[in-house]
A and B are shown apart, each in its own frame.
Chain A
Amino acid sequence: MTVREDMQTVLAAENVSKCFRIQRNRPHTLREMINQRLTGRYNSCSTLWALRDVSFLVRQGRVLGIIGHNGAGKSTLLRLLCGLGRPTKGRIHCAGNVGSLLELGSGFHLDMTGRENLLTGGILSGLTRRQVKAMEEKIIAFAELEEFIDQPVRTYSSGMYLRLAFSTAIHFKPDYLIIDEVLAVGDARFQQKCLERLKAFRAAGKSLILASHDLEQVRLLCDEVLVLEEGQVVIQGEPERAISCYHDLMRQRTEKRAEKLYGKGGGLSIATERGSRLGTQEAKISAVHLYSSSGESTDSICSGDSLTIELEYSILKPVNDMAVILGIYNETNIKCFETAIVSTNAIVGKIGEHGSLTCSLPGLPLLPGNYFVNVGLYPVKWDYVYDYHWQMHPLYILGSKEMFSGISGVVLLQPAWSISTIKNLVGMPVDTKETNVPAD
């Protein structure tokens, strides 16, 4: 396959493969190297193909998303696109300047002030000193760091640091921008600002390449999504199609794993009374108990009451760490709330062979209705599923009809209305009279 660099294409990867040599006893010093050469053991290295035959095109003004689980080759691909390192096979064509948000704040020095670092960042992004100076105030305003810009960066909070790094990176105008997990910057409002900025960037006819774990963001931002699996492109297409394919891959990996463990057709799906259950059962949730605030086991609580959820689990060796998610979904499968533990060992403590995990939710602000508690156990790499319970554990939120008349939705809020009457419309001072209606 040949890819022509026509007017529209800003970036093209053509059968790109990247191979890393993994030497088990790689010589770190000359002595080790000479030793290994002499004894003839130096050939004991294996190769890892991080990317295999990856081809794609990015057209002007388009946003390409790259998804894939950890170790699928995303970072390797992004680095090659930035011109860092050379593909083992294949070619990458790019027309124009690349900007990257791979390692935010690289080149920053903690002892320098924000302003000095901004200049460093700008010049490293490919602008002359004068061009950076012309943009300086705009960047500082975007980062909302006017007060602190002349302080050394080491006094910044991590949020401030990232804001400065991001604003610096995004204000220089490359022809295409490569972003890795970027939108974890600052608070929600600043993230929104960044998203706006990326949209404007795209509207100006620039292209974006975005690797992310956040499927929602990928769905929102991208025109096209590429799914990588073990260094190969599984699919490149519409976000919806690619994301569902990505979910299928998770299922397939779980199936493969279950087959390996239990032989064909074993272990994977277990018939349940209600809902469905999927996983290799290397770690399993044997029971889920819900407790009300008074401590009794129940499946229904009043709106606004607290809820404690207990997961009884048991694990098979050699599993010794896992990731846990717990979510509350409503009947139409809208996620109302979800919490995840990326590693139980690191966050809540060492796990035993059998045990229980308890999650307390003080004051569940949900409106009355039928909900489900969905829980899952995953390997810490999130590459397949140990056990996932979908719609198996119902939760009923109760409330009196009168109290909630005229209210709908998911979240419990206390509305307080007030009214003010404008008496005179022709420029006279306005006299208002507020009528507060207490909610209770």
Chain B
Amino acid sequence: MSVSTTSRAGINSLTYYFDLIIHLITRDFALRYKGSAIGILWSLMLPLSQLLVLVFLFGKVVPLRIDAYPAFVFSALLPWVWFSTCLNSASSLFIGNRDLVRRPNFPPFILIIVNTLSNLLSYILFLPILIFILVLYGHYMTPYLLIFPLLILIQSILIIGLSLMVATMNVFYRDIQQIVTVAVMLLFYLAPVFYRSEIIGEKYHLLYTLNPIAVLIQSYRAIFFYGSPPHWGSLMLSAVLCVTVFAIGFFLYNRQLADVFDRL
């Protein structure tokens, strides 16, 4: 960078960024439900209605014959909702927050972290409901739940990496927004959210091992629904893929940042 700024005098940088991120997340939450009567309860609506549709469709209309189907779907639906909401909103993060991006001392990638964490928070708020449904169907907690934070970490890296690419490139080409919407929709059917990946057969196996979001979703389902460890091999492979995606995203963001300022 051509602008070298010495560290903020008297301010512990970490505390500052912590405060900044926490504040923006609270603000994001407050704004989303401000003025609505039932407030934060609205955030429950989208996943719950999606759950109802899927349960009705694949439990009654086209039965997939999976035991405890609502619990089966819900354990995978929540991480999927986190992933898809983040990506769909990522495209407007820079172009929609022009006034924040153009503030001195404000690193725009903070917006991406805030977006990721704020949607993660919705996910976390759902955990009691998920556990309630699991218990309802007789699935009890196992020590494998301790892997949960690791899965969250890997998925965060993936979401931040992809969001960096999407947010940056959408400043230059507004098509990205449309492409992402379509891609996320297609990915929903390619990820085993409402079906078992085993029924697809060996032929498409590669499609599921090389797709980090599919592997992650199966891992969540393993620890919550089956109470078994995730497939460590594919999980590690997708962790590597996620870090690669993040590195590419960060590289792209870093390279284009100066142009982003000029273009906004």
Contact = CB atoms under 8 A, between A and B. Distances in A.
Interface of A: 20, 27-31, 33, 79, 82-87, 90-100, 102-103, 106-107, 109, 111-112, 116, 119-120, 123-129, 131, 175, 178
Contact of A123 (B1, B2, B23, B174): B23
A124 B105 CA distance: 8
17 contacts: A27-B173, A30-B175, A84-B104, A85-B261, A86-B2, A96-B6, A97-B9, A97-B105, A103-B102, A103-B103, A107-B100, A107-B103, A109-B31, A119-B23, A120-B27, A127-B11, A128-B12
A126 B15 CA distance: 11
A396 B125 CA distance: 80
Given A30-B175, A84-B104, A126-B16, A95 B262 contact: no
Interface in B1-33: 1-6, 8-9, 11-12, 15-16, 19-20, 22-23, 27, 30-31
B34 interface: yes
B4 A94 contact: yes
A120 B2 contact: no
A27 B175 CA distance: 11
Contacts of A29: 173-175
Interface string B101-140: 0111110000000000000000000000000000000000
B202 interface: no
B5 A97 contact: yes
Greatest chain B CB density within 10 A among A116, A126, A178 is at A126
B11 A85 contact: no
A20 B15 CA distance: 37
Contacts of A94: 3-5
A98 B104 contact: yes
Contacts of A96: 5-6, 9
A124 B8 contact: no
Contact of A85 (B19, B30, B100, B258): B258
Given A94-B3, A94-B5, A128-B15, 10 more contacts: A79-B102, A85-B261, A97-B9, A100-B103, A123-B23, A124-B100, A124-B106, A126-B105, A128-B16, A178-B104
Contacts of B104: 82-84, 98-100, 178
B198 interface: no
B105 A112 contact: no
Nearest to A18: B262
A107 B99 CA distance: 6
The 5 closest A-B pairs by CB, nearest first: A106-B99, A82-B104, A85-B261, A86-B258, A83-B3
B2 A87 contact: yes
Interface string B133-161: 00000000000000000000000000000
A158 B102 CA distance: 22
Given A29-B173, A116-B27, A84 B261 contact: yes
B233 interface: no
Contact of B30 (A82, A91, A99, A112): A112
B35 interface: yes
Contacts of A83: 3, 5, 104-105
Contacts of B19: 123, 128-129
B175 A91 contact: no
Interface of B: 1-6, 8-9, 11-12, 15-16, 19-20, 22-23, 27, 30-31, 34-35, 99-100, 102-106, 173-175, 258, 261-262
B102 A84 contact: yes
B107 to A, nearest CB: 10
B27 A109 contact: yes
B161 to A, nearest CB: 21
Given A86-B1, A96-B9, A20 B100 contact: no
A28 B172 CA distance: 7
A131 B12 CA distance: 12
A84 B263 CA distance: 11
A106 B27 contact: no
Nearest to B175: A30
Contacts of A111: 31, 34-35
Given A87-B2, A112-B27, A126-B11, A106 B103 contact: yes
B173 A33 contact: yes
Nearest to B20: A123
Greatest chain A CB density within 10 A among B3, B15, B22, B23 is at B3
A95 B8 CA distance: 10
Contacts of A87: 2
Greatest chain B CB density within 10 A among A86, A103, A111, A128 is at A128
Contacts of A127: 11, 16
Contacts of A95: 6
Contact of A128 (B3, B11, B99): B11
Nearest to A95: B6
B110 to A, nearest CB: 10
Contact of A28 (B3, B4, B5, B174): B174
Contacts of A175: 9
Contacts of B175: 29-31
Nearest to A109: B31
A156 to B, nearest CB: 17
A82 B8 CA distance: 15
Contacts of A106: 99-100, 102-103
A93 B4 CA distance: 6
Nearest to A124: B103
Contacts of A123: 19-20, 23
Contacts of A20: 262
Contacts of A97: 5, 8-9, 105
A381 B130 CA distance: 63
Contact of B262 (A85, A93, A102, A109): A85
A106 B35 CA distance: 22
A13 to B, nearest CB: 11
B182 to A, nearest CB: 13
A431 B30 CA distance: 63
A27 B173 CA distance: 8
